[in-house]
């Protein structure tokens, strides 16, 4: 089954074709980062307009790369949520229009289910069951996964997600958007011993996260240096290092607890923050101590992409799921409300 995947949940237009027999045939991604950078964050109306402008040419591009025509497609999957409602509507309306014209099934896919299963696109995918850390700009969640649609939420952020905290810290440090990679680059120059920031919610049991207080502590430290005329380039780097170390430590501690609590030996890490090199190094060491293994998507599939949507859509379409005539656009959609495909 050849499935076209469309991702338009935020500021990246991703398109891919996945074949259930041959794997990923082609994929492409257009990022709006340059457009939104001057505003320091995503402008929803501009995002929607740019998706409208780029989506159809990108669909043709992946078809040409795969040597296929639209008539060769067996189904279409699109991101139905969560995300920016206007951006979601662009992908949903395009997918439904194409599917109706071609007479093939169409299905709205959960964006975070795409991230969760993105490592399945790798040469050595994880087997079920596993613990998943979903860590991005909008989500920080630990999930126990026993199969497609079989998700038990273990813990999540009660305020800012880790990626959101990275972006806000980048703004404090006058770094470019998107902030996560910029903070990580600056942290490489920082002294790890100068500051020690709190590891939020690690001094109590449980698997929930909170990064709002860490963000406030970062701002307080930054202002203290500024008020004492000590805020130079090295000071900014030292703050970036302390912040990154605190986030990484917190995520590692919670993942360790989740593995111990579930008794599982496989950890999937996905979402934009999963590309952070320090996080990968620390988690790799931690799971190895437990005789476990960590799995990640390749770099370009850590952030939003069409391949993960095509993959999840293909699995669910193959099982007989599809939309009714009504398209879906769900800005808020808890992952644990998903269910397995009907037998």
d(CA 311, CA 326): 22
138 annotated ligand binder: yes
41 annotated ligand binder: no
135 annotated ligand binder: yes
279 annotated ligand binder: no
Are 18 and 5 within 8 A, CB to CB?
Answer: yes
d(CA 236, CA 11): 28
Residue 161 Cα to chain centre, angstroms: 11
146 annotated ligand binder: no
336 annotated ligand binder: no
CB neighbour burial string for 265-284, b if at least 16 within 10 angstroms, e if fewer: ebbbbbbbbbbbebbeebbe
180 annotated ligand binder: yes
Strand partners, 141: 134, 156
137 annotated ligand binder: yes
114 annotated ligand binder: no
276 annotated ligand binder: yes
167 annotated ligand binder: yes
Are 295 and 264 within 8 A, CB to CB?
Answer: no
State whether residue 298 is helix, strand or coil: coil
Residue stretches of the annotated binding site: 111, 115, 134-138, 167, 180, 276, 304
Residue stretches of the annotated binding site for Fe cation: 111, 115, 304
Residue stretches of the annotated binding site for substrate: 134-138, 167, 180, 276
């Amino acid at each position: 089954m050849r499935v076209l995947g469309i991702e338009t949940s935020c500021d990246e237009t991703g398109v891919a074709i996945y074949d259930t027999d041959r794997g990923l045939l082609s994929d492409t991604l257009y990022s709006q980062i340059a457009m939104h950078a001057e505003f320091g964050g995503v402008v929803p109306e501009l995002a929607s307009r740019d998706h409208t402008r780029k989506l159809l040419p990108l669909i043709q591009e992946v078809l040409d790369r795969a040597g296929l025509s639209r008539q060769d497609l067996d189904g279409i999957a699109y991101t139905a949520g969560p995300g920016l409602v206007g951006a979601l509507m662009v992908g949903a309306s395009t997918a439904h229009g194409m599917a109706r014209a071609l007479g093939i099934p169409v299905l709205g896919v959960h964006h975070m289910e795409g991230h969760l299963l993105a490592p399945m696109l790798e040469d050595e995918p994880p087997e079920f069951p596993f613990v998943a850390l979903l860590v991005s700009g909008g989500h920080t969640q630990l999930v126990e996964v026993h199969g497609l649609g079989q998700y038990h939420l273990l813990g999540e952020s009660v305020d800012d997600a880790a990626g959101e905290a990275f972006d806000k810290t980048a703004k404090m440090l006058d770094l470019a958007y998107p902030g996560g990679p910029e903070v990580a680059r600056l942290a490489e120059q920082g002294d790890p011993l100068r500051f020690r920031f709190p590891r939020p919610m690690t001094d109590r049991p449980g698997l929930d996260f909170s990064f709002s207080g860490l963000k406030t502590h970062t701002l307080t430290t930054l202002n203290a240096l500024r008020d004492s005329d000590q805020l130079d380039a090295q000071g900014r780097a030292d703050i970036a290092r302390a912040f990154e170390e605190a986030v990484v430590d917190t995520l590692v501690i919670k993942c360790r607890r989740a593995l111990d609590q579930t008794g599982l030996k496989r950890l999937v890490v996905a979402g934009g923050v999963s590309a952070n090199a320090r996080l990968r190094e620390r988690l790799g060491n931690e799971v190895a101590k437990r005789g476990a293994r960590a799995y990640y998507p390749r770099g370009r599939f850590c952030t939003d992409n069409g391949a993960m949507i095509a993959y999840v859509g293909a699995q669910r379409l193959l099982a007989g799921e599809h939309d009714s005539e009504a398209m879906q656009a769900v800005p808020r959609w808890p992952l644990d409300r998903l269910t397995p495909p009907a037998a």
